[in-house]
Each structure stands twice: as C-alpha cells, then as structure tokens.
A = this chain, B = another copy of it.
C-alpha cells in the first residue's frame, strides 16, 4: 500500500471507536501496523503529540498489562491519563445508569478506554456517549481488539521474514475455548477478516466439544478456512506451524483456568519451526522452559503492546503529522 494511502487510511480512523476488530477495515489495520512498526523502530520522534489531551482508563475489571500498556502509550505521547481503578466505589457501582456514566466520561476525556466483565456494556456506553472515541480493552466473553492487533502484527512479521523456514500459509492450532475467551475471539475474527491468506487451516484443541459459537463458526465458514476439532493435543501438535494457547475461560462471570490437561513445555513435540502465541499473563499451561527457544513468539506479542496502542491513539486523535513526516523521510531513503 503506497504511503499516501496509508496516511489516508490513518486519517479515516480519527474520532472513531475500536470496540471490535470489525471496526477497522483491512487497509486501516495495515496502516496501524505500519505506524506501529515505525514507532517501535524509533524513527518517529514522538513526545507530545497528545499534549493537552486526556485519556481516561475505566477498568471495571482489574487489569495490569492492558491498563498499563494503554497508559504507557498515552503518557509517551504526552497525554494526561486519568483513571477509574476501583469501579465498585463509583456511582455506577452503586446503580448509576450507563447512559449517565458514558456522558460523564465524554465530558472528561478525549479518548475513553473501557474494560468490563459484561460484553454488552461497551456498546451501551458507545450508544450513550456524546461521541468521544471508545477503546475496548476487553469486554467479558466479547472481544479484545487491541490484543488481536498485537498478535497478528507479530504473526505477520514472522510469516514475512525472509530468512525464516516458514510455510506459505500456516497450519494454526488453537488451544482453549474461543467462545469463552475474548482474546481468542478477536484473534480469530481478525484472522478471518484480514489475514486469510496467511492461514492454511485451523485445529481447535479443547476439552469442551462445543468450543465455538455461532458468530465464530460463521466467520470461519465465510472465510472458507478449513477447521478441525481435536481433544488429544499430542496427536496434532506436531502439525502446527503456530499455536495460540490460553487456558482462561469466562464462566458465570468468573475467569477460570480450564483445559488443565493441555500444557506446552520443553517436552512438547512441536514442529521445529513452530511458534507459540499467548496473550500473557500465563499460568501453568505454558512452561518457562520454552522462553529461550525459537518457539517463543509470546514475548514479542508483549513487546508490541505499547507501540500498537500508540499508533491507535495517534490515529484516533487525528494526530498523524509526525507519522506523515516519518513516512516521507523513510520513502526518500
């Protein structure tokens, strides 16, 4: 995609919300990735693009990684950060309407980042806000779109590395219960919508036979991705080029570790070049034995947490002048 189109795609993101991965077109995803890569490379001299702006993080569920990566991204761009950490003590914790709450957020901040245990609350806030961009930082069993952007940026980098012994299209293994975990849901939906060409097929490894729901099954079918289900990890793990593992599942409003029989460690018979994705923090399902191996792609996912969110914040706030300059400088080289 030529630079002028990249910039046009970024410009179109200004003022918009990111509640689901489908809120961004394929071109917009590409443009965000390009911007994140430039930012991470250090060639964009950023410091106060968001000076005078306020980013509000409202976490109705506690979170460390997601909250801090949004706050770090905002702070690196010079934005002020204000934060609702203990939502139980707020009026909404005591029965204030979502409508009043959304209106309040809008009048205090320029960008609003929300995590909530109930999938529907994000859309309710969006419907009742006055129009400030809303970023979904995880909504129940719904989505976690910024995580999926980090995941696919890393996978795309890996697939396109020229020196890598990697296939033209991946055989992808998914360990977990996609319909019960937002990070896998967003990963799958973004994969179907934008990265179809990188995927040969998918195998879902789960102790729960019914691990997809209608939305996910429909997206996979529409994308024409061949899928299979398997209970026995050992039987199939050696076929995967990439494995996404996550043992958390949301049941009755609680996050529980499930699928305890599935565990990746130094003894797992992975394909020699296979890579592992995990949306940290991890539990017992992913051994630190694998940290210093070529399989480890999960630390890379974490490294992109801040630059991807910096790119999104710049785009959403319509502050892409520094990126435009860096683009034209890099095109002159």
Chain A interface (Cβ < 8 Å from any Cβ of B): 46-48, 51-54, 56, 62, 64-65, 68-69, 71-72, 74-82, 84-86, 89-92, 94-97, 99-100, 103-104, 107-109, 280-283, 288, 299, 302-303, 305-306
Residues of B contacting A303 with CB < 8 Å? 107
Residues of B contacting A305 with CB < 8 Å? 107-108
Report how far A48 CA is from B281 CA in the complex, Å.
34
Report how far A71 CA is from B54 CA in the complex, Å.
9
Residue of B nearest to A94 (CB): B281
Within the complex, which residue of B56, B68, B89, B107 is in contact with A108, where a contact is CB–CB below 8 Å? Answer: B68
Q: Decide if B51 touches A281 in the complex (CB within 8 Å).
A: no
Report how far A71 CA is from B82 CA in the complex, Å.
7
Q: Decide if B72 touches A109 in the complex (CB within 8 Å).
A: yes
Q: Decide if A46 touches B52 in the complex (CB within 8 Å).
A: yes
Report how far A202 CA is from B90 CA in the complex, Å.
32
Residues of B contacting A48 with CB < 8 Å? 51-52
Q: Decide if B302 touches A91 in the complex (CB within 8 Å).
A: no
Q: Decide if B103 touches A299 in the complex (CB within 8 Å).
A: yes
Residues of B contacting A46 with CB < 8 Å? 52
Residues of B contacting A100 with CB < 8 Å? 280-282
Extra contacts, 6 of them, besides A71-B82, A75-B82, A92-B281 (Cβ < 8 A), are A47-B52, A52-B78, A62-B89, A76-B80, A78-B80, A100-B280
Tell me, rounded to whole Å, the shortest Cβ–Cβ distance linking A310 to chain B: 11
Tell me, rounded to whole Å, the shortest Cβ–Cβ distance linking A256 to chain B: 12
Give 19 pairs: A residue, B residue, CB < 8 Å, sorted on A: A46-B52, A52-B78, A54-B75, A64-B90, A64-B104, A68-B84, A68-B108, A71-B80, A72-B80, A75-B80, A94-B281, A99-B288, A100-B282, A103-B299, A103-B302, A104-B280, A104-B281, A107-B303, A108-B305
Report how far A95 CA is from B283 CA in the complex, Å.
8
Residue of B nearest to A87 (CB): B64
Residues of B contacting A108 with CB < 8 Å? 68-69, 72, 305-306
Report how far A84 CA is from B85 CA in the complex, Å.
10
